[in-house]
Amino acid sequence: MTGYTKDHAWVRMDGETATVGISDYAQRQLGDIVYVDLPKVGAALTQGETMGTVESVKSVSELVAPVSGVVTEVNGALTDAAELLNQDPEGEAWLVRVKLAGKVEGLMDAAAYRSYSGVVVSDTE
């Protein structure tokens, strides 16, 4: 299942691990992405707090952690090719994988996110 946040992040759950990224809506709002600053493996994330930044030709935006836990993997492909976030933000351009610390709450399903943001997201996730 994939959940979404009001900060336009997505979270895909797999047992105690969550894969985190930014939504297609977010990347379209940012424009051409040129740099991503992500947390290091082993970093502790707290839901609702800043975990990094994404820089586009328009602006620099904070990445807000959608879940709490410890970073187990960082998508290294984004270090050399941040523009992948514009090409496949809800797929290959995931940001981090996190070992969850407790129950995940406050995520919207695809229908609720679509209503919130006015964008089309897959109901099949």
Counting Cβ atoms within 10 Å, is residue 105 exposed (0-12), middle (13-18) or buried (19+)? exposed
Average per-residue pLDDT in the chain? Answer: 92
The whole-angstrom separation of Cα 98 and Cα 85 is 19
Q: How many domains does the chain have?
A: 1
For residue range 56-73, list pLDDT tens digits in order. 998 999 999 999 999 999
Percentage of residues of the chain with pLDDT beyond 70: 94
Query: Has residue 103 been placed in a domain?
Result: yes
CATH code for the domain of 103: 2.40.50.100
Instruction: Provide the pLDDT confidence category of residue 125 given band limits of 50, 70 and 90.
Output: very low
Using only C-alpha atoms, the chain has a radius of gyration, in whole angstroms, of: 13
Query: Has residue 43 been placed in a domain?
Result: yes
* pTM, rounded to two decimals: 0.91
Average pLDDT over residues 29-57: 97
For residue range 87-104, list pLDDT tens digits in order. 999 999 999 999 999 889
Domain enclosing residue 92, as ranges: 2-117
pLDDT at res. 117: 83
